[in-house]
Amino acid sequence: MESKIKTMESTDNVGATVIVIFGAAGDLTWRKLMPAIYNLYLDKWIPDHFAVLGVARSDMNTEDFIKHIHEGIDKFSRTGKAKKEDWDTFEKYVSYKKGDFSDAATYTAIHEQIDQLEKDWAEPVNRVYYMAVPPVFFEEIATKIGESGLLKNKELSRIVVEKPFGHDLDSAKHLNCLLHGLFDESQIYRIDHYLGKETVQNILAFRFANAMFEPIWNRNYIDHVQITVSEQMGIENRGNYYETAGALSDMIQNHLLQLLCLIAMEAPVSFEANEVRNRKVDVLNAIRKITSEQVHKYAVRGQYGDGWVEGKRVKGYRLEPDVSKTSNKETFAAVKFFIDNWRWQGVPFYVRTGKRMNESISVITIQFRPVPHQSFPPETAENWQPNRLVLNIQPHMGIQLRFQSKRPGLKMLLTPVDMLFKYSDSYTAGTPEAYETLLLDIFQGDATLFMRGDQVEAAWKVLIPIVHTWNANTSPNFPNYAAGTHGPEDAEALIAKDGHNWIVMPLEKNENE
């Protein structure tokens, strides 16, 4: 299956490219970026004139770095361990420079290396500056890139910014302002890796390449929408970061609001990057603002205490490394949104996400309204359930449509059944990782799947009253859910008071997955 959405501007060819990874010794480079680049190379997307330049403060040389990323690729690549003949060619693309991000000499060395490659290759070289670093370094690195002459060939340069993009509206505006002083918006790639996931891209295909659901995709037929991203994982070793973020900023501000936009957006006229992003900003701008006084009615927060996950005893959030023993950071958040426009007026969108939950699953459920008149007597329905469309994002990718059917037999008895599409049944080709899709888009200059500056700010505007209210109320009575459970009871109440409950209909794993 063709996995990438091509835009009007993109071409399949990647020109000569150097990707400079700041933070090359870190986890993201090891687990995600280098395995993704390696798989792009295996799939023949990488041009002959290509180089990866890793930059970090760790005391390594190129040989050490290559050994380090080789281990990472063997461990994390979706295609398994690297074969010797492939690796021998691939490693020639890779080099490493030890350098401090605050030191001008680091940037001079990068400059010299790119200039030399451009001379050797005798063609213009695209420069991708990837900030795979904690957010505290974004400003310094971007500024130094500007000061050091690395943007001399501005039209050939791109900068990639990992999330979180700011920690609130003001900091996001500040970062946008700084980047816009150096780069054109079209050169800035703000990553939200959810947008690179195959199933997430398929939401666009499902909605806009099929006519059959569009007539009912609105308030007249849809009762409510639920988006759940739950993880069994705790915060691993990211206590320092998580203490500054929390579930709202770490997940809802970006991944979950992006999913909501894909479900709620109007059809774009084309898949040109700005057109798609305009339609998403329209959704964010239409989300009803929650006032500080209303926060308790629309949003619920939680923090995990100790408990059991998959048969193992795990400790509570406050006992995780680098976390304050009295921390009030939320590891769970659920919010009810309304979108004030013609299509969605009055339809609640419930979103929730949490760490150390009972299962790891990302799923979107569209629940349709009941039939207007019930012709069947109540005794015919054993287990009456509303029509539901369930988009399973992970761990197993697919789409389920639940409807009523007659049970075989002499009597009229109704029972819910599912129509099912599973990726693993329909496609045998391997599914690219989100970072493969996104890196290729960056190399090709296609920004469709990246967040535009105004999009990030609009998402912060939606959440800022909740952030402020939660920060101001420092006694939320945490922990309020045990690890390995569904999250706090208040989250059940949030949806139950509207007569609903959280629905997760996981797909089963196929043998060939």
Catalytic residue numbers read 255
Contact 160, 189 (CB under 8 A): yes
CB of 480 to ligand BG6, least distance (A): 20
Instruction: Specify the residue, 78 or 154, whose C-beta has the smaller distance to ligand BG6.
Output: 78
DSSP 137-190: GHHHHHHHHHHTTTTTTGGGEEEEEPSP--SSHHHHHHHHHHHHHHS-GGGEEE
Query: Which amino acid makes up residue 412?
Result: M
CA distances 204 to 186, 195, 209, 238, 391, Å, are 22, 11, 8, 32, 12
Cβ distance to ligand BG6 smaller for residue 9 or 27: 27
Candidate residues 91, 250, 330, 436; the one interacting with ligand BG6 per rule CB under 6 A: 250
Which residues have a Cβ under 8 Å from the Cβ of 421 and sit 6 or more positions away?
A: 398, 399, 400
CB of 198 to ligand BG6, least distance (A): 12
| Distance, CA of 234 to CA of 357 (rounded, Å) | 9
What x/- string results for residues 344 through 383 when contact with ligand BG6 is judged by CB under 6 A? ------------------x---------------------
Output phi, psi for 350, to 5 deg.
Answer: -95, 125
Closest residue to ligand BG6, based on beta-carbon distance: 250
Q: Which is nearer to ligand BG6, 51 or 449 (CB)?
A: 449
Give the shortest CB-184-to-ligand BG6 separation in angstroms.
26
Nearest to 150 by CA among 99, 193, 192, 94: 99
Runs of H (alpha helix) within 376-506: 423-426, 434-444, 453-472, 489-496
From 118, 198, 223, 231, residue interacting with ligand BG6 (rule: CB under 6 A): 231
Question: Contacts with ligand BG6: how many residues (CB under 6 A)?
Answer: 4
Number of H helices, E strands in the chain: 16, 18
- The interface mask with ligand BG6, positions 153-182, x = CB under 6 A, is ----------x-------------------
Site string for ligand BG6, 121-150 (x = CB under 6 A): ------------------------------
CB 260 within 8 A of CB 192: no
Our CB check for ligand BG6 shows the closer of 197 and 280 to be 197
Q: State in angstroms the smallest separation of the CB of 411 from ligand BG6.
A: 45
Which one, 302 or 445, has the nearer CB to ligand BG6? 302
Counting Cα atoms < 13 Å in the Cβ hemisphere of 34 gives: 35
Site residues for ligand BG6 per CB under 6 A: 163, 231, 250, 362
